[in-house]
Chains A and B, each alone.
Chain A
Amino acid sequence: MVDGGLNLHHLQFLAVGALWTVCLSLIAFVGGGIAGGAIALCRISPLKPLRWLTIAWIQIIQGTPLLVVLFVCYFGLSIMGLELPGLVAASIAMIIYVSAYLGEIWRGCIEAVPRTQWEAAECLALSRWQRMRLVVLPQALRIATPPTVGFMVQIVKNTSLASIVGFVELVRAGQLINNSTFQPFLVYLIIAAVYFAMCYPLSVWSRRLEQRLHFGQRAAAP
């Protein structure tokens, strides 16, 4: 193989780790997206207690390192008698983390739709939920796409923290290989390259979406 220690089995092991990184990222994005959508809607709800509750949630999660959230989910819950496997604990922690950030990003996108659009919809006798669903959300969705894709980069990179609770994703796989080959420079360079290969297309995509949003959005539409 490349040289002495690193062989095909190691690379295969890394590939499986990378696959789990993708899996955990998807779980975090889908789960966190669903929770984040609910949080964004609650955050602008006319009900004050609901608003405060979601603001508190967002502040607490954004003011806490993801690593600590992960420890609480893995070690904290196990002391309370809830022994979770690494993947489950990491998924819960990631979903919590993503929900707070996407919730706040999407709240901003909903509020970026001009007030006058709400007003026009209101004057056509649409109910609050109809205004949201038919007029505001479709426009907010377009505004939200670039920052959401951009945030996916953060999700992918942050799944590496799951290595600490023993979940064998890309970083943990690298650590295990390094323990037997003692080639940290080579192993971690490969890992860095794999992360880059996952994240770079996402940031390019995000940038493209943003450009398309800025120039002649509709021109290409049917």
Chain B
Amino acid sequence: MTQAPATNPVVVELKDVHKRFGANHVLKGVSFAIPKGQVVAIIGKSGSGKSTALRCIDRLEIIDSGTIEVCGHAVHDPAIDLRRLRQDVGIVFQSYNLFPHLTVEQNITLAPRAVKGLSGADALAIAERTLRQVGLADKAQAYPEQLSGGQQQRVAIARSLAMEPQVMLFDEVTSALDPQLTGEVLRVIEQLAQGGMTMVLVTHEMEFAARVADTIIYMHEGKVWETGPGQMLREPQTPELRDFLSHGL
């Protein structure tokens, strides 16, 4: 990528990735690489394949051809150890997907205890730390439905962070939120970016993408159409991106 310091190893790499849903050819040869510590924003119209590309990185979708390497895991390999991959990759969804029967604290401690075998006390310490990180230390005992959408999404981020992933994926995490709640979630993501977390965001927040992302990938019709730094959004090279930006902003 354009901005990548040469010293940083690549942690996510897609090469000529194709994905079809039946007759619908969603990804038509997508390739990009993300060095450690970089923040990449993927933008594009709905149906451009941006969410699918993100989901392929965590093997929530299985690709038809091409290769994906994430933190040393060959994601395209059918024999992949999914649980190892998922310990290295955190993902946050548009619809939060918190576990409604558990408190905020239990939502966060569940995986560190079950997967990493941490003691209750160690897991609680992690919950406390990650909740403080997202500014919700006082909500540990609340149930998800007692929280606003923005708070739920921040808990979802804390839940992912508790597994101490190498890469964080964000799939349109503010699309279900009103502008005020969007702001509080974006602030958390921005802090993570400053902390050096490697992140891939699929987003509709252009201003935010321009400010926070090291690299922006514009996807159009299943292809990486244009790639560049945040500046790219002010000087689009292709008519498609220009058109997209004029409708989007």
Chain A residues packing against B (C-beta within 8 Å): 116-117, 119-127, 130, 134-135, 138-139, 142, 217-218, 221
Contacts and interface: CB of A to CB of B under 8 A. Distances in A.
Interface in B43-87: 58, 60, 82-84, 86-87
A155 to B, nearest CB: 27
A117 B159 CA distance: 14
B99 A126 contact: no
B95 A126 contact: no
Given A124-B111, A126-B115, A134-B110, A119 B60 contact: yes
B97 A117 contact: yes
Interface residues of B, number: 27
B225 interface: no
Contact of B101 (A124, A125, A126, A138): A138
B93 interface: yes
Interface of B: 58, 60, 82-84, 86-87, 89-91, 93, 95, 97-101, 110-111, 114-115, 143, 145-146, 159-160, 163
A158 B179 CA distance: 58
A121 B163 CA distance: 12
B93 A125 contact: no
Given A134-B110, A218-B145, A218-B146, A122 B97 contact: no
A119 B97 contact: yes
A127 B83 contact: yes
A116 B95 contact: yes
Contacts of A130: 114-115
Contacts, number: 60
Contacts of A117: 97, 99
A120 B90 CA distance: 10
A136 to B, nearest CB: 10
B100 A123 contact: no
A138 B100 CA distance: 10
Contact of B86 (A116, A122, A134): A122
B86 A125 contact: yes
Nearest to A131: B114
10 contacts: A120-B98, A123-B160, A125-B82, A125-B83, A125-B87, A125-B163, A126-B111, A130-B114, A135-B110, A138-B101
Contacts of B84: 125
A117 B98 CA distance: 8
B101 A139 contact: yes
Residue of B84, B101, B115 with most partner-chain A CB within 10 A: B101
B129 to A, nearest CB: 17
Nearest to B58: A123
B101 A142 contact: yes
A123 B101 contact: no
Contacts of A135: 99, 110
A134 to B, nearest CB: 6
Given A125-B111, A130-B115, A134-B110, 15 more contacts: A116-B93, A116-B95, A120-B99, A123-B60, A123-B90, A124-B111, A124-B159, A125-B82, A125-B84, A125-B86, A125-B115, A126-B114, A127-B83, A138-B101, A139-B101
Contacts of A116: 93, 95, 97
Contact of A123 (B91, B110, B143): B91
Nearest to B89: A123
B163 A124 contact: yes
A130 B110 CA distance: 10
A218 B111 CA distance: 23
A118 to B, nearest CB: 10
Contacts of B60: 119, 122-123
A127 B111 CA distance: 10
Contacts of A217: 145
A218 B100 CA distance: 9
Nearest to B98: A120
A83 B93 CA distance: 60
Nearest to B87: A125
- Residue among A119, A124, A127, A134 having the largest count of chain B Cβ atoms under 10 Å: A124
A159 to B, nearest CB: 34
Most buried by B among A116, A117, A123, A142: A123
